[in-house]
Amino acid sequence: MALNFYNTLTRTKEEFIPIEQGKVKMYCCGPTVYNYQHIGNLKTFLFEDILKRVLIYNDYEVTHIMNITDVGHLVSDEDEGEDKMELGASREGKTVWQIAEYYTDVFKEDLKRLNILYPDVFCKATDFIKEQIEMIECLEKKGFTYRTSDGIYYDTSKFPDYGKLAKLDIEGLRAGERVEFSEEKRNPTDFSVWKFSPKDKQRQMEWDSPWGKGFPGWHLECSAMSIKFLGNHFDIHCGGIDHIPVHHTNEIAQAEACTGEKFVNYWLHGEFLNMGDVKMSKSSGDFLTLQRLIDMKYDPMHYKYFLLSAHYRTKLKFSFEALDAAKSGYDRLLTNILKIKNSVSKTSQSEQTNSEQNKFKSYINDDLNIPRGLAQLQQIVSSELSNEEKLFLIYEFDKIFGFGFKDAKDKPKDDIDIPSEILTLAEARIEAKKNKDFKRADEIRNEIKVKGFEVIDKKEGFEIKKI
Ligand SMILES: [Zn+2]
């Protein structure tokens, strides 16, 4: 059965044809680990996971690479402002390396909680500085770079196809009407591949290079590391739609100028999560994380179910009402599935299950139409099929959704009712700990214990269990 994806490069749905038969090489832009990921970021990683699962379902052997940006991502896309990592470090009074390690761990934990399959490789930008320097040397040799007072820049006018992914209006930009740019840049779209360390300040992360001490530009790591792991030309590259105009456009410019080959065949991009009235500013430190949802007694699967109710290329609006609706929908589905599970000891296939499977595959192969697949699952659960047939299909479809139905136990995980009094005490204990009043924190822990609950500290927040 044909597999079709919407390719941002051509703005059309195309049949997927791999470069090498039976194999798919895929690169996904990972997080910048200077803070927690907000729930909107997780939408992109979930879409990529579904994509990977669909490829595996179609019998492809998938090599999946994801970078971890731990250096060089500046606050603005225009090569201005501070490095986000150094900013995170000064905010928290830690070293940049500690910040990177901490937020990488939290990110990986979030993926696990959402049952997102890990990539084959998580590659950190700081582990591949040599490869990035080599790429700049390659670009320099071919005449694509120039030097300014603050770094080495890529001259986008030298690359004739620049902006093909984003369909950028280069002439418009060049006229300087929409973008203001530094006087030293030759073209408004030029970007830094190497930034010099400031003369008056010691950076925590800096490296020697043929051009002087400094650090790589953010876009460079993805070109250099994807080529290192997947070769000059590979199948799929994905990320959020915000990457199209600058980050992915620059990745193509660097890679294709250096190798002289086509970089990637299919570019897939996930739409944003629209937060509506819910505050989501990372800079104010007040934004929704998966942990926050868990603290509010949602299961990560509730959030996953909410995300999967919309197609990855549709903008989805978040609200707690919508999340609550997803929560009841998921809990109802799970209850029905558990009933089916408990009533049979095996699964069985039949002509009907084959035809349902084909139908399901036609949905997911049509540019990942997961909402249709979910609706089909709902129908099957309440259909006339035998429970053994139903269970076969439930497990089969869950290879794509990744809800973990096979391991689901009788009671939804978060079903214990924690009295609000206990929650208040637990919050007060965190507050006491923050104020370094450890004596008070211990007293509260005992108080909670006396009332029959145990509080367990987690990386972000806490968990409460019934004793
Ligand atoms: Zn990237």
Q: Mark 384-405 as b/e (b = at least 16 C-beta within 10 Å).
A: ebbbbbbbbbbebbbebbbbeb
Q: Are strands 4-7 and 12-15 parallel, antiparallel or unpaired?
A: antiparallel
Q: Mark 90-110 as b/e (b = at least 16 C-beta within 10 Å).
A: eeeeeebeebbebbbebbeeb
Ligand 1 center from residue 149 Cα (angstroms): 26
Q: Is the pLDDT of residue 253 over 90?
A: yes
Mean pLDDT value of segment 196-201: 86
Spans of all domains in the chain: 17-274, 318-401, 420-466
Name which of 17-21, 166-170, 190-194 the model is least confident about. 166-170
Name which of 278-287, 381-390, 433-442 the model is least confident about. 278-287
Q: How confident is the model at residue 462 (pLDDT cuts 50, 70, 90)?
A: confident
Ligand 1 center from residue 218 Cα (angstroms): 8
Nearest residue to 258 via CA among 132, 173, 357, 447: 132
Ligand 1 center from residue 222 Cα (angstroms): 5
> Tokens 């660097």 — which residue?
254
Query: Can you name the CATH fold of 17-274?
Result: Rossmann fold (3.40.50)
Q: Is the pLDDT of residue 103 over 80?
A: yes
What phi and psi, each to the nearest 5 degrees, are found at residue 131? -65, -35
Mean pLDDT value of segment 176-191: 73
- pTM of the prediction? 0.85
Element (H, E) at 7: strand 4-7
Ligand 1 center from residue 248 Cα (angstroms): 7
Ligand 1 center from residue 228 Cα (angstroms): 14
Ligand 1 center from residue 24 Cα (angstroms): 18
Q: Is the pLDDT of residue 329 over 70?
A: yes
What is the percent of the chain where pLDDT is above 70? 92
Ligand 1 center from residue 125 Cα (angstroms): 10
- Which has more pLDDT, 195 or 455? 195
Mean pLDDT value of segment 313-321: 94
Ligand 1 center from residue 461 Cα (angstroms): 30
Return the pLDDT at 200.
83
Q: Is the pLDDT of residue 447 over 90?
A: no
The string of pLDDT tens digits covering residues 165-179 is 988 776 666 554 445
- Burial-class residue 65 by CB neighbours within 10 Å (0-12, 13-18, 19+): buried
Ligand 1 center from residue 333 Cα (angstroms): 37
Q: What is the mean pLDDT of the chain?
A: 90
Return the pLDDT at 178.
45
The CATH class that applies to domain 318-401 reads mainly alpha
Neighbours of ion ligand 1 (CB under 5 A): 29, 222
Ligand 1 center from residue 72 Cα (angstroms): 12
Q: How confident is the model at residue 412 (pLDDT cuts 50, 70, 90)?
A: very low
